[in-house]
Amino acid sequence: MPTDPILVIGATGKTGSRVAARLDAQGHAVRRASRNAAIPFDWEAPETWPAALDGVRSAYVTYFPDLAFPGAVDRLGALCRAATVAGVEHLVLLSGRGEHHARMGEDVVRRAGPAFTIVRAAWFAQNFSEGQLRAPILSGVLPMPGGGVAEPIIDVEDIADVVVAALTEPRHRGQLYEVTGPRLMTFADMAADLSAALGRPIRHEPISFEDFHATVARAAGDFVADVFTAIARETLDGRNAHLCDGVQRALGRPPRDFADFARTAAKAGVWNQAA
């Protein structure tokens, strides 16, 4: 097994924390990249990048809060150039489904020089359990814009499995994996599955994009709310209302179902008031 470290950018995030833990469990050397890491990494401080990239053979690249944030694609390009100079052989990018800026970021990585794998993901199930929408679920509502649009929401555990495979198995180089859950679901469908898992009613509340912004801002501030609302406006128009086979192609198995996610999360107590 190679001893050069695998860099995980965003190692405290939803996907990065899971990717780093899986790589650790497999015995890989992992360099966790975040502002407070032993070797710090800050997207807004390029002077931190060379040390984080030094000696790295592969890197998992995520951009918080999203590649739609102003300046994100330019920073991603600069990081790719720094990674090339540092001799990084392989970049695995987390991208967003149906997002214009995410596609621009994908193109940047494709042209960068190192080998690449792109993981283009649907909306995260974990946004409801450990993200900005956990608080409304605690109060019994799932407030989402987009009306009856269907989304093949994906379990972040599947994303982490795909990313780890891409980082550790050469056959995934040059691949685009568009990863979705196994079925199309309206937000009302998701509320029904959450209700069944929690044993109490969770009501889908159709709201405007302005109200969605206010909901996210209360939980995470205007900075995150601006980006999430822009993504919601762009993607919750039906463009993503179809399934893709990225999980199956990468892992040889079907993706996890949202109902299974909801039951697992409920048993873990993530929607307990004190969690």
85-105 tens-digit pLDDT: 999 999 999 999 999 999 999
Examine residue 145 and state whether it is found in any structural domain, yes or no.
no
Lowest mean pLDDT among 55-59, 228-232, 258-262: 228-232
Contacts of 1 (CB under 8 A, 6+ apart): 27, 28
Asked if the structure places residue 267 within a domain, the reply is: no
**Domain assignment of residue 165, yes or no:** yes
Residue 157's H or E segment, with its range, is helix 156-168
Q: Is residue 34 assigned to a domain? A: yes
pTM metric for this prediction:
0.95
Range of the domain at 111: 6-123+153-180+242-256
User: Residue 110 belongs to a domain with what CATH number?
Assistant: 3.40.50.720
Query: Comparing C-alpha atoms, which of 21, 108, 29 is closest to residue 63?
Result: 108
**Which pLDDT score is estimated for 131?**
80
The pLDDT of residue 86: 97
d(CA 258, CA 38): 36
Task: Please check whether residue 142 lies inside any domain of the structure.
Answer: no
Q: How far apart are CA 170 and CA 21, in angstroms?
A: 20
Over residues 232-242, the mean pLDDT reads: 94
- pLDDT at residue 216 is higher than 90: no
Report pLDDT for 274: 62
Rounded to whole angstroms, how far apart are CA atoms 57 and 81? Answer: 15
Distance CA 260, CA 267 (A): 11
Per DSSP bridges, beta strands 58-61 and 6-9 are: parallel
Could you tell me if residue 63 is inside a domain?
yes
What's the total number of domains in the chain?
1
Question: Residue 23: inside a domain, yes or no?
Answer: yes
| Model confidence at 2: pLDDT above 80 | no
**Pairing verdict, β 90-96 and 115-121:** parallel
Assess if residue 252 is contained within a domain: yes
For residue range 53-93, what is the model confidence (pLDDT) as tens digits? 999 999 999 998 889 888 999 999 999 999 999 999 999 99
Separation of alpha carbons 107 and 80, rounded Å: 11
Q: What pLDDT is recorded for position 275?
A: 54
Q: And the tokens for 29?
A: 């050397």
